[in-house]
Chain A
Amino acid sequence: MNSLPWQEVPLTWYLLLSAVLFALGVVGFLIKRNLITVFMSIELMLNAVNLSFVTFAHQWGAVKGQIFVFFVMMVAAAEAAVGLAIIIAIFRVRATLAVDRIDLMKL
């Protein structure tokens, strides 16, 4: 990597960053005990995947990857709205956000 000029960054680094961010998101999903923070970890995983979409769009010089990211963003917005509404509904019934205490399907 030292032979490259310092104006350039290998796309491999972007992909590795994306993989590490995804793994951190999975770890957060597993270890966090707060419902909202678990949801944030899911958003982090979505962002990691978006980064690798943009990287591959740059690699192939094609616009399709960026369009995929656009649609992922729209779906994530819808998902965040509905998910947070569900969290509010759960909190109203259970009065807690700890995932250990929310262990029944029935509200």
Chain B
Amino acid sequence: MHLILFVVFAGFCLAGAINLLLQSHPINSALSLIVVMTSLAVLYLLLGAEFLAAAQVIVYAGAIMVLFTFVVMLLNASREERTLGSRAARAVGFPAVVAILAVLATVILHLQGVGTARIGQGLTNVKGSTNIEELSGVLFTKLLLPFEVTSVLILIAILGAVALARHGHGETEETPERTSAQ
């Protein structure tokens, strides 16, 4: 069962990622990326990370990709022009990618003592408590400060996004109000 699910959803992942590269229209790439992220959520579930699977669907496949498709449609992004790209990317980039992949694969294949994953076997050393209990226990006790800092970061990011995406950076809109107030 695990093997079948892994093969199917790893195949979806790879197919989506390759389709992302092959499509020339950004909206098709965005939809392929949604396929990749949803399949990754299933793989997280297979690895016993239920909370992260839910968060992956909600945050990545939901919020972030809605933002992407929204921007693609807002900017009316057309098909990309097929240019050859920079020569440096071709000459240095692709051998570098192959080298990175080769090094990673060599290291991974030589790892000693890597176990196996089976369905229903979550965090193995945690007995009698679920994954979410463990996660929230650490997140709200030991890592409370980073967690709260993250919320401040999100707030600042929202403010920054609004400030960046506004028309004319507020120069033209603010002056009439200021003069009328004076």
Contacts and interface: CB of A to CB of B under 8 A. Distances in A.
Nearest to B160: A82
B138 A63 contact: yes
B60 A73 contact: yes
Interface string B43-59: 11011110110011001
Which range contains the number of A residues in contact with the other chain?
A: 35 or more
B6 A74 contact: no
Given A8-B2, A62-B123, A76-B60, A24 B164 contact: no
Given A47-B40, A59-B114, A88-B75, A19 B108 contact: yes
A7 B120 CA distance: 11
Interface residues of B, number: 86
Interface of A: 4, 6-17, 19-28, 30-34, 36-37, 39-41, 43-44, 47, 50-51, 54-55, 57-59, 61-64, 66-67, 69-71, 73-82, 84-89, 91-92, 97-98, 100
Contacts of A33: 80-83, 85
A66 B135 contact: yes
Determine chain A's interface SS by DSSP, over half rule.
Answer: helix
22 contacts: A8-B118, A11-B115, A14-B117, A21-B13, A22-B104, A26-B93, A27-B94, A28-B21, A34-B80, A40-B26, A40-B68, A44-B20, A47-B37, A54-B49, A58-B122, A67-B139, A70-B135, A73-B55, A76-B64, A79-B157, A85-B160, A100-B83
